[in-house]
Every structure is written in structure tokens, then in C-alpha cells.
Amino acid sequence: MKETEKIEIMNFDQEGYLEDGKALYETGKLVTAMADRVADEGYDAVFLMGVGGTWDELMQLEYLMNKFGDKDLEVYLIHAAEWNVMGHKRMTEKSVVLTASESGTTPEVLEACKKMKEMGVRVFAMTKPEGPIGQVVGAENCVAMASDHGSGGCEKGYYLADCFGLRLLNRRGCFPKFDLFIEQTKDIWKYMLDIRKRFEPKAEELARKYALAPYTMFIGSGALWGETILYSMCILEEMQWKRTRSITSHDFFHGTLELLEPGVPVFLYKGEDECRALDNRVEAFLRSGVTGDEDYVIIDTAEYAIPGLDDDFRVIVSPWILTVLATDRMARHYETVTKHNLKYRRYYHQFDY
């Protein structure tokens, strides 16, 4: 494949990325072993807990576990701050929680983990074992995110979370091809590099056209919805201070469509699951020309091949692909155009609240 040749990806360490990918395969085994422990011990419900970006990231796993899971599997996506005040009526000492915190210090997650441990709930975290959250959940329940070189996107976090959730499914007889999936994604990182290379000129073009727009709309659904919010909120709002609106493909038609007019950029993220039918409806509307808005961008994960991957695994990796395109590549190019460093914050981590 021509694209695997040495082509530059802006602000991106290709060798480091592949090295991290190798390490991730090993980390994935640790996470799988954690899921095995849970499956051996038994559990009544699975809680995926985050705040902001981690909440968004875990949404794809909630989707997948409901999609592939049996009728009796209970999976709940919870927001740590909300759980801290409300609790959850289905959480018992037999429940299991998966959470994540890159900094290891997220206050709401830390508070929740402490309370959960007191309740006797098993908590697993994708976080550095030496951080405050890592210390609460214990090193044996904890894996570092393993992105020493930084990928920009969330695909490696998705991979680890999926190892946990899909393994639990597998142990219930719901995702029999788990081992095959792990095998087929072992070297996926080089294809993720190819996808970056292929998208690089497009990312640059989109950033030039839209990074300075005062307001941008993002539409997604199904397995991609979490990543759609994440890019819109955690990248553009938080890191670029851009006004955005994210809306599901299904609810778009019940209000938000009225905002479309010439000059308003709209990104539609098309996925590879049942909800694609809803994405198609939005696409047809955008293409119909009735809005007069020609600034629509269709990003379809199906256009990005992963050689050697079974078709029924596409839905799982579709958010990995989108995060590579949006949260990694588009973000880097937006940063270049806006000259607004992705690390700047006005308020977050600057003040107590």
C-alpha cells in the first residue's frame, strides 16, 4: 500500500505511535485478565463511569455491550458527578465499574471511586497506578493508558475499554469472536497511520475552510455519537474555545435543522451500524440543497479500510477511525489555523469549583 510509505503527519511521532501500539497489545491482555477475574467472580451489572471526555469515550462501549449483549446483561453509562449526588439504584456490592482518568486526579471520579470502594464495589480504572485514583482503586485494578508518545486521538483508550467490555461479553457467550478480534487488531495501528496519511490533506483543507467559523454543527449517531460529542465539546469547545452544536442524526430533524443556512459548517459523521440509516437521512437532507448551505462535510468511516478485519468488527473500530480523523488530525490542523494551542485553558484546572 502506497500510503504506508514515509509520508509526514504533522506534529505526530509515527515510530512512537507504533511502539505504543505494541505496548498496548500487552496492556490489553492485562485488561482482559481483569475482565476474566470479574467473570469468574460474577457480577450483577456493569457501570461505565466518566466525566466529560471519558464519559463520551465510554459511550461507544455502552453501545457495543447493549448491541452484542444478551437480554439480561445490565450496562449503565454513568456520570461521576451525577452519581456522587444521585447514586444508582442498580448498583450493589456485586457490581463492577470501569472508569478512566488520564490525569489520575479528576475530582468527581476520585470522589466516586472512594465511595464505591467503601460500598464494596469493584472498580477498574484506566489511569496511572501512582495517581490518586490509581491508589484508590489499587494497582491490581488499574492500567496506564499506555500512550507514551501521545496519539492525539482516543483510539487507544477505546481499545482498552473494549478489551474489558468485549471480554465480559465473550465470557457470557455473547461475543464468541473475541480472540479473533484481538488478533485482527494486533497490528491495526499501522493502518491507523495509513488513515492519518490519507486524511492529512483533507484535514488541512477542512481546517483552512472552517477553523475560524464562529459556529459549527456536528451530527452523529450509534457507535460514533460519543466521539461526536467528544470532538465537539472537548476539542473545539474546551481546547479551541469554538462554539459548536452536536446533535444526533435522529434528533437533528426536531429543531436543530432550522439553524442551517448558507455559511454554517455542518459535519456529518457517518457510521457503520444500524443508525447509518439515520445518518443517510441527514445526508440526503444536506445534499438536497433546500438549506442553501453548501458547507457540509460528510465523513464516513466506511471509506477507511482496515485490511484483514472482519466486517462484523467494523462497528467496533468505527469510533477509533473517527477519533483518528477528528480528535487527532482535524484538531491538530485547527490548532495551526487558529494559532490557539490545544493546551490553553481559560478556567479548567485554573480555579477550584
Other beta carbons within 10 angstroms of residue 340's beta carbon come to 15
Q: Rounded to whole angstroms, how far apart are CA atoms 110 and 92? A: 19
Provide the grid cell at 205.
483543507
Residues 6+ apart with CB under 8 A from 53: 154, 230, 233, 234
Q: Does 243 bind its own copies (CB under 8 A)?
A: yes
Q: Does 254 bind its own copies (CB under 8 A)?
A: yes
Give strand pairing partners of 270: 300
Q: Which residue has the cell 466486517?
A: 311
Per DSSP, the three-state class of 207 is helix
Other beta carbons within 10 angstroms of residue 271's beta carbon come to 29
**Of residues 4 and 66, the one with the C-beta less far from its own copies:** 66
Other beta carbons within 10 angstroms of residue 8's beta carbon come to 9
Distance in Å, CB of 109 to its own copies, minimum: 11
Per DSSP, the three-state class of 75 is strand
Distance in Å, CB of 202 to its own copies, minimum: 25
**Of residues 21 and 53, the one with the C-beta less far from its own copies:** 53
Task: State the binding string over 33-72 for its own copies (x if CB under 8 A, else -).
Answer: ------------------xxx-x----------x--xxx-
Q: Does 215 bind its own copies (CB under 8 A)?
A: yes
Distance in Å, CB of 131 to its own copies, minimum: 18
**Of residues 52 and 165, the one with the C-beta less far from its own copies:** 52
Break the chain down into helix, strand, coil percent, rounded to 5.
55, 10, 35
Q: Rounded to whole angstroms, how far apart are CA atoms 83 and 89? A: 10
**Of residues 257 and 325, the one with the C-beta less far from its own copies:** 257
Q: Does 115 bind its own copies (CB under 8 A)?
A: no
Distance in Å, CB of 61 to its own copies, minimum: 16
Distance in Å, CB of 188 to its own copies, minimum: 26
Distances (CA, A) of 26 to 30, 33, 161, 173: 7, 11, 14, 24
Among 15, 288, 339, 343, binds its own copies (CB under 8 A): 288
**Of residues 191 and 296, the one with the C-beta less far from its own copies:** 296
215-220 and 266-270 strand pairing = parallel
Q: For residue 344, which amino acid is it?
A: Y
Distance in Å, CB of 16 to its own copies, minimum: 27
Residues 149-208 that bind its own copies (CB under 8 A): none
Q: Which residue has the cell 466506511?
A: 302
**Of residues 4 and 280, the one with the C-beta less far from its own copies:** 280
- Identify whether the C-beta of residue 181 lies closer than 8 Å to the C-beta of residue 166: yes
Q: Does 294 bind its own copies (CB under 8 A)?
A: no
**Of residues 131 and 222, the one with the C-beta less far from its own copies:** 222
Binding site for its own copies (CB under 8 A): 51-53, 55, 66, 69-71, 79, 81-82, 85-86, 89-90, 108, 214-215, 221-222, 233-234, 237-239, 241, 243-245, 248, 250-251, 253-261, 274-275, 277-278, 281, 284-285, 288, 290-291, 345-348, 350-351, 353
